């Protein structure tokens, strides 16, 4: 990938990050418990993203946790948090500093965008029910998100000429499909625990909407 693409990524990431800084509901983090949960997610996902596997140089994959972050804190706080996670793995040497913005757009921006997109789609076409929230948003939404990120990464690598498309689509992308089961299980389990025991941690969940009268 040429330097022009990296600079374009920096500009795009800077614009999205500035918008999220402006639009994020920072008032929510004035509550010490909410702030601790948000920071805890950042730290935990930094560790999770550092535990990655790979098949060749540049062809790595790991769990995302973006759906849990997005459903819990909304897209803007989630994007800022995952940008910090991307910074963490960059500082520990897992990724090159110049590629930070490109990685943040893919792993933070796209993953949060897809998570929010699927949440809105499901909320618009399916009944507002506890089990719909858990199994569709928590499980299915997480699985579709990581598959979408994996496909975008595959297209990006092929476009950049890092590897041939045929190789990427047959030897790299299928790992994201397999990883989707783990992502779905982890996200669904965490959302179930949060909604049952700490519903105040899940900003997208409302008792009056998903439980009352059901």
**Confidence tier at 59 by pLDDT (50, 70, 90):** confident
| Confidence (pLDDT) at 213 | 54
pLDDT of residue 53 exceeding 90: no
Question: If one looks up domain 3-210 in CATH, what number appears?
Answer: 1.10.1760.20
pLDDT of residue 77 exceeding 90: yes
Structure tokens at 8: 């374009």
Give which of 137, 136, 134 is closest to 192, Cα–Cα: 134
Q: What does residue 56 show for φ and ψ, rounded to 5 degrees?
A: -155, 165
Q: What does residue 34 show for φ and ψ, rounded to 5 degrees?
A: -65, -40
Give which of 164, 160, 161 is closest to 173, Cα–Cα: 164
Average pLDDT across the chain, whole number: 91
Element (H, E) at 101: helix 100-103
Structure tokens at 183: 């992502």
| Confidence (pLDDT) at 105 | 96
Q: What mean pLDDT is predicted for residues 134-143?
A: 94
Give the model confidence (pLDDT) of 180-189 as tens digits.
Answer: 999 999 999 9
Give which of 13, 14, 122, 107 is closest to 71, Cα–Cα: 122
Structure tokens at 116: 């929010």
SS3 content of the chain, % helix, strand, coil (to 5): 80, 5, 15
Q: Looking at per-residue confidence, does 13 or 161 come out higher?
A: 13
Give the model confidence (pLDDT) of 147-162 as tens digits.
Answer: 999 999 999 989 888 8
CA distances from 165 to 86, 110, 157, 170, 205 (A): 26, 21, 8, 8, 40
Give the model confidence (pLDDT) of 81-120 as tens digits.
Answer: 999 999 999 998 767 788 899 999 999 999 999 999 999 9
């Amino acid at each position: 990938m040429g330097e022009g693409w990296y600079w374009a990524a920096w500009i795009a990431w800077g614009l999205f990050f500035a918008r999220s800084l402006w639009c994020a509901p920072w008032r929510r983090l004035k509550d010490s418990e909410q702030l601790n949960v948000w920071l805890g997610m950042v730290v935990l996902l930094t560790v999770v993203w550092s535990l990655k596997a790979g098949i060749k140089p540049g062809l790595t994959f790991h769990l995302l946790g973006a759906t849990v972050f997005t459903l819990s804190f909304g897209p803007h706080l989630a994007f800022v948090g995952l940008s910090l996670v991307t910074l963490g793995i960059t500082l520990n040497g897992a990724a090159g500093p110049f590629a930070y913005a490109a990685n943040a757009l893919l792993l933070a921006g796209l993953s949060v965008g897809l998570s929010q997109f699927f949440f809105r789609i499901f909320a618009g076409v399916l009944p507002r029910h506890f089990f719909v929230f858990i199994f569709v948003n928590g499980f299915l939404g997480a699985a579709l998100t990581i598959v979408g990120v994996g496909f975008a990464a595959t297209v990006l690598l092929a476009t950049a000429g890092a590897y041939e498309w045929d190789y990427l689509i047959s030897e790299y992308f299928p790992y994201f499909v397999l990883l989707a089961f783990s992502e779905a299980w982890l996200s669904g389990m965490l959302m179930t625990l949060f909604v049952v025991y700490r519903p105040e941690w899940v900003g997208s969940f409302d008792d009056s909407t998903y439980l009352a009268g059901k």
